[in-house]
Structure 1
Amino acid sequence: MKVEDFDFDLPEELIAQHPLEPRDASRLMTVSRTSGRIEHHVFHELPDLLQAGDVLVVNNTKVIPARLIGEKEDTQAKIECLLLTRREKDVWETLIKPGKRLKIGQTVVFGNGLLKGKLLEILPDGNRVVQFCYEGVFEAVLDELGSMPLPPYITEQLEDKDRYQTVYAKESGSAAAPTAGLHFTPKLMEHLRAQGVEIVEILLHVGLGTFRPVKVDVIEEHEMHSEYYRVSQEAAERINQAKAQGRRVIAVGTTASRTLESAAEENGQIVAQEGWTDIFIYPGYRFKVVDGLITNFHFPKSTLIMLVSALAGKEQILEAYHLAIQEHYRFYSFGDAMLIL
């Protein structure tokens, strides 16, 4: 299957530069997997579109202020460091810009010495392994010195950094937000629970590999980066019970989808577990658990639109995207949403 098959022209003005207020004021396109019918709603109408017994599975990861600006210890040259994945306590896989300025063994100083990072290794994909040195608690130092790692296509400053977190974010570790969840408010979640929709939390720490461009021509040759995930025993039992009773399991975001499918056996049973997943879902994949999906509008030729196409069909998704462009939906992280059922 060709990557070009997932290309489309997106006007730059449709790339959302800021989040709407309130969160659930975003538009919501609904797409039926069976009939192909497309309808237009507002996200706060979600309770009217779901039914009692549905299970919404959300990713409760929390974005860390992962972007650090520092200087080389010897030359004071400016260095940008983006934390990607924690390998062990003080050792992180990072993205360094400009990468060629920093050699193995050299040190970057952040915040006048509050934090120092020594380059240990250069990985084949260009990422850098860095060991950090500091006093106190790393998360506190990072909160003081770091900034939110907004995607490069967002050029406007984010005034409220909590706006790049979901309202149910709990466990720090992501380099990017699971953006489908940004549309939920506490009030909307209360409304959903009150009408019998079950909400189950799982975890996947989002790395940048999910969003990197696919650089091969043939989809099957693309390799995903690994991301840490965890499904608790309670979450597994609740999801398995829902499936056994014929209730719908609806993933909130592609990260929740990938986590569920990574933790599922061939018979569709979720097994409580934690580990690393590099699952790549594209058309032809048979979903074991996911019956529906809430997701934002994604990049052309991205692994994200490939996953969405695997669930609803490539032709149907591209038709929906072309309609979204005609109707001036807002795209990407701070954009509007789609509900596939």
Structure 2
Amino acid sequence: MKTEDFNFYLPEKLIAQHPLEDRKLSRLMILDKETGKIEHKIFKDIIEYLNPGDCLVLNDTKVIPARLFGERKNTGGKVEFLLLKRVKGDQWETLVKPGKKARIGDNIVFGEGLLEATVLDIREGGTRLIEFKYNGIFNEILDKLGEMPLPPYITEKLGDKDRYQTVYSKNEGSAAAPTAGLHFTKELLDDIKNKGVNIAFITLHVGLGTFRPVKVDDVENHDMHSEFFDVSKEAADKINNAKKNGGSIISVGTTSTRTLETVTDDNGVVKSKSGWTDIFIYPGYKFKIVDKLITNFHLPESTLIMLVSTLSTRENVLNAYKCAVDEKYRFFSFGDAMFIK
């Protein structure tokens, strides 16, 4: 299977640069995964497609303000950090620009000394292992000094950083938002719950590997990034009970999907566990637990469009994407949504 098989034409003007004022008023494409039939709705209409006894699974990770701007302690040279993931304690794997200004042993200061970092190691791929030193509470300092790590295709500055968080975000640790969930409001979630739909929260801390392009010709040769997940017993029980009683499991986003498929055994039972996953879902994969998917519109030739194609077919999904372009849907993180049923 070739990476180019997942390419499509996308005009740059369709890349959404800012979120809509009202989250639930994004457009919603409905795709029948079997027939390929397409309907056009508004996101708030999603409730019409959810039935009592179904289980809606949401990723409650919270994006940290992971972009930091500092300078080398000795020379004053400007340095930009992007925190990818906490390794342990105050040690983080980090992207650094320019990389040549972050050699092993170098010290970088942020916020006139509120935060200081030492480069411990240079890792494969050029990322740095760094250790922070500070007085006080790290998250409070990060909130004061850091900026939201918006994807590279968003070039406009975000006025309200809470718009790059879901309304149910809780567990801090992501370098990017689980964007399919950005369309939900608290009121819409209440209405869904009142309809008799179960809601389960799981966690996967999204890394920037999500945006890493597939650079190999053959899909099977792609090296998938690893991300931390946590699924509680309460969430596992809700999902398993819904499935047992004939309800559909509706995953919100590719991050929830990858987590669910990681923790589900070959008998279709979700296990409560935490750890790291590098699962790569592309056509040929057989889903163990996920029945339906709410997702945004993704980059050409990305692992995300490959996952989406797996739940339906590549032909159905690429046809839906062509339709989305023709109908001028908004793409990517702040864009519109698709429901694959």
TM-score range, shorter chain: over 0.9
Counterpart in 2 of 1:8?
8
Counterpart in 1 of 2:67?
67
> Cα RMSD between the aligned structures?
0.6
Distance in 1, matches of 2:217 and 2:36, equals 29
CA contact (8 A) 1:210 1:224 kept: no
In structure 2, stretches of 5+ residues that fail to align are: none
- For 1:220, give the aligned amino acid: E
Cα drift, residue 249 of structure 1:
0.1
Counterpart in 1 of 2:222?
222
Counterpart in 2 of 1:265?
265
Distance in 2, matches of 1:233 and 1:68, equals 36
Q: TM-score, normalised by structure 2?
A: 0.99
Aligned-pair identity in percent equals 60
Counterpart in 1 of 2:286?
286
CA contact (8 A) 1:115 1:134 kept: yes
CA contact (8 A) 1:16 1:331 kept: yes
Distance in 2, matches of 1:151 and 1:29, equals 23
Q: Secondary structure at the match of 2:223?
A: coil
Distance in 2, matches of 1:48 and 1:219, equals 36
Distance in 1, matches of 2:121 and 2:138, equals 21
Counterpart in 2 of 1:38?
38
- For 2:84, give the aligned amino acid: L
Distance in 2, matches of 1:264 and 1:49, equals 24
Distance in 2, matches of 1:100 and 1:284, equals 42
Counterpart in 2 of 1:21?
21
Q: Secondary structure at the match of 1:202?
A: strand
- For 1:34, give the aligned amino acid: E
Distance in 2, matches of 1:35 and 1:198, equals 27
Counterpart in 2 of 1:208?
208
- For 1:254, give the aligned amino acid: T
Q: Secondary structure at the match of 1:41?
A: strand
- For 2:93, give the aligned amino acid: E
Distance in 2, matches of 1:245 and 1:194, equals 18
Distance in 1, matches of 2:139 and 2:120, equals 21
CA displacement, residues 149-204 of structure 1 (integer Å, 9 cap, x when unaligned): 01111111111000000000001000000000000001100111111111100000
Distance in 1, matches of 2:259 and 2:110, equals 34
Counterpart in 2 of 1:91?
91
Distance in 2, matches of 1:132 and 1:168, equals 29
Cα drift, residue 245 of structure 1:
1.3
In structure 1, stretches of 5+ residues that fail to align are: none
Q: Secondary structure at the match of 1:44?
A: helix
Q: Which aligned pairs between 1:143-158 and structure 2 lie closer than 5 A?
A: 143-158=143-158
Cα drift, residue 33 of structure 1:
1.2
- For 1:165, give the aligned amino acid: Q
- For 2:333, give the aligned amino acid: S
Distance in 2, matches of 1:104 and 1:269, equals 46
Counterpart in 2 of 1:314?
314
Cα drift, residue 100 of structure 1:
1.5
- For 2:62, give the aligned amino acid: K
Distance in 2, matches of 1:289 and 1:51, equals 17
- For 2:52, give the aligned amino acid: A
CA contact (8 A) 2:177 2:206 kept: yes
Distance in 2, matches of 1:138 and 1:163, equals 23
CA displacement, residues 89-110 of structure 1 (integer Å, 9 cap, x when unaligned): 1000010011122110001110
Counterpart in 1 of 2:107?
107
CA displacement, residues 16-57 of structure 1 (integer Å, 9 cap, x when unaligned): 000001100100000011222100000011111221111110
Distance in 1, matches of 2:199 and 2:12, equals 35
- For 1:273, give the aligned amino acid: K
Distance in 1, matches of 2:170 and 2:161, equals 15
CA contact (8 A) 2:151 2:211 kept: no
Distance in 2, matches of 1:321 and 1:215, equals 22
Aligned length: 341
CA contact (8 A) 2:198 2:238 kept: no
Distance in 1, matches of 2:126 and 2:250, equals 36
